[in-house]
Amino acid sequence: MGKLTTKKMRDLKSPGRYADGDGLYLHVREGGSRQWVLRTTVHGRRKDIGLGSLSIVKLDEARIAASAMRRSAKQGHDPLQERRKRRATPSYEEAARHVWVENRSTWKNAKHADQWINTQATYAFPKIGDLRIDRVTSGHLLDVLQPIWLEKEETARRLKQRMKMVFDWAKVAGHRTGDSPLDGILKALPRQSRKVKHHDALRWEELPKFVLKLRQREADAVSAKALQFVILTALRSAEVRLATWSEIDLAKRIWVVPAERMKMKREHRVPLAPEAIKLLEGCRDYGSKFVFPSDKSERPLSNMAFAALIDRMGMKGFTPHGFRSTFRDWSSENEAAPREIAEMVLAHKVGDKTEQAYARSDLLERRRSVMEKWAAYVFSADR
């Protein structure tokens, strides 16, 4: 048995090296971090070999690792070289960062890419980042997820999905075999509430009066027009904010949103009603590639522009995204469109995979008829 105990290590405050015996030390650094170090002789030379952080490598694990390295050195081997060979298998953090780099260009926006790696860095890396990817167990992952599973439900679920990507990659790359350590882990975690959060929406009966007020916002010309376009097209605010003139054919009255900006990653053709065309023609003088530019013409509107505008108008109880629900309620209650047409207007998937495979048409002209009725209703308060 060595000199150190769990209690002694917990009581250590001052920076320095504290011996356990047989060349094994706990190095307490300025700032409080603690690492294991083995001092041994390799090929006639003294070497210090790091064995990992105390937060990852427990006392008994450090002793076992130190003993194996001393034995290897006495047999004439170089334990550092042997460890480098083993490290051809990446640590969890190395694997996660590799997956992040490989995939971030395909994700829908930079914010999502940042969140992907930041949740790993906040919750996973401190506990399992130094572990080799093939040595991570379900117990390790339970230790990561359990503290936030009920306190931060959405974050925990997303972190679990992101960790799954890492383990799927590790198996395909040959760094792991067998089942994923995430398999069955839900059985060891408490049941989450899984409450569905809906975006608050303006009642469709109140929409024309709201749009009339919106059209009178001369001080908010660009954002007011952009929000009108959100309403007229029933698309998401980000799809409208990032719209460029190269995507719009005024003569054919079509806006083609590229697949990379759509949630479903499929190109979406939007039929433009006469009211939408007139609104766009009023934006031609902004001198930007973006249809709705910010004050700096080379940049699009901020993602907070619409919420801020609604707040300045003194309106409450609904969100910009909620106008999609307003359209859906209007189309249902006024029998303006069959369900599948209304869902296609919203760029939702319609039907199961078999139906989708045979649905070759996006029913543009049928959607155009619906959007013209919708636009006429949207602007009906000033007619």
Q: Write out pLDDT tens, residues 225-261.
A: 999 999 999 999 999 999 999 999 999 999 999 998 8
What band does 220 get if pLDDT is binned at 50, 70 and 90?
A: confident
Same topology for domains 6-86 and 204-382, yes or no?
no
- Buried-state track 27-46, b at ≥16 Cβ within 10 A, e below 16: bbeeeeeebbbbebebeeee
pLDDT in tens, 168-188: 999 888 888 888 999 989 889
pLDDT in tens, 31-76: 888 999 999 999 989 999 998 899 888 899 899 889 989 998 999 9
Report the first-to-last Cα separation within the chain, whole angstroms.
90
Residue that the structure tokens 């929406």 belong to: 201
In this structure, what DSSP letter does residue 123 have? Answer: I
Phi, psi torsion values for 300, nearest 5 degrees: -80, 175
Which stretch of 16-30, 104-118, 190-204, 232-246 has the lowest confidence by average pLDDT? 190-204
What's the one-letter identity of residue 24? L
CATH number of 6-86: 3.30.160.390
CA angle 220, 224, 229 (to 5 degrees): 160
Round to whole Å and give the CA distance between 200 and 322.
5
Domain ranges of the chain: 6-86, 92-188, 204-382
User: Does 335 or 260 have the greater pLDDT score?
Assistant: 260
Q: Which has the closest alpha carbon to 279: 326, 206, 221? A: 221
What is the CATH architecture assignment of 92-188? Answer: Orthogonal Bundle (1.10)
Q: How many residues does the chain have?
A: 383
pLDDT at site 86: 60
Among 2.60.40.420, 1.10.443.10, 1.10.10.60, 3.40.50.620, name the CATH number for the domain at 204-382: 1.10.443.10
84 with 132: CB under 8 angstroms? no
